[in-house]
Amino acid sequence: MSSAKDKSFSGWGPFTFGMNFKDALTAQPGVVWDDEPSRKCAEAMSSSGCTLTAAQGSRVPLTAGVALLPTVIFNHDGKLAGLRLGTFLRGNITPAQCQSAYSQLLDHLQETWGPPTASASNMRRTRSTPTSDGVEHAPVTEDEAVVGRATFHVQPDGRQIILLSRYIGKTDTALAVCHLSIDYRGPDGLQPPEKFPHPLKNWY
């Protein structure tokens, strides 16, 4: 039986790195793409690549009990360069609840891919603290906290899986929000040129 470190990945679910725009949008039954954003993404493709997020109401299997919607990321050749599963949890959510959801996803990825790989983070406003297990944490503050970041299964060709979480506390004008995402990044050869950086570069 192969170990987690021996596993490989070429995308996520039915989404395969390098597939074209049309195939990606029909890859998973139950995922809905709104017409106008799809049209704009297709129009921008040749000059800068584009990103497209599935419509609310799409039916996607839960990931470790968390509902995450896919965002497909295309390069300027119209090839799938990466995919992000993400969600925004808004309302009376607390840092502890955000951390709990993050931990569910972290455990799921560790069971699938083994321990995280130590990596440098690029988080804003709060400084993360790498730990011996490869998971990075930042201090929780009243108004904002980057709950964590963990990178899995980094491959020589640049493929990797990144789990990110960010909590922003309630303000006078906005509800608290917990942003969770898993980024499945494709090979370096599929990424847009540097002048059109990958949409997830410097995300935090």
Task: List, in sequence order, the alpha helices (H) in 77-129.
Answer: 95-113
What pLDDT, on a 0 to 100 scale, did the predictor assign at position 47?
Answer: 87
Beta carbons within 8 Å of 21's beta carbon, 6+ residues apart: 41, 42, 45, 74, 78
pLDDT by residue for the chain (204 residues), tens only, comes to 455 555 779 999 999 999 999 999 999 999 999 999 999 999 999 988 999 999 999 999 999 999 999 999 999 999 999 999 999 999 989 989 999 999 999 999 999 999 998 754 433 333 444 454 555 555 444 455 556 899 999 999 999 999 999 999 888 898 999 999 999 999 999 997 654 444 444 444
Task: State how far the Cα of 2 lies from the Cα of 88, in Å rounded to an integer.
Answer: 35
Q: Is there a contact between 181 and 98 (Cβ–Cβ < 8 Å)? A: no
Of 197, 92, 108, 95, nearest in space to 139 by CA:
95
Q: Evaluate whether residue 200 is within a structural domain.
A: no
7 located within any domain: no
6 lies in a domain?
A: no
Residue 128 included in any domain: yes
CB atoms within 10 A of CB 46: 11
What pLDDT is attached to residue 194?
57
CB 149 within 8 A of CB 121: yes
Local structure of residue 78 (DSSP, 8 states): S
Cα separation, 20 vs 184, whole angstroms:
17
Residue 41, in any domain of the structure: yes
Look up the pTM and report it: 0.81
Range of the domain at 31: 14-190
- Inside any domain, residue 86: yes
112 domain residue, yes or no: yes
Position 144 scores a pLDDT of: 56
Predicted pLDDT at 126: 39
Do the domain assignments include residue 198? no
Q: How many domains, the chain?
A: 1
Strand, coil or helix: 11: strand
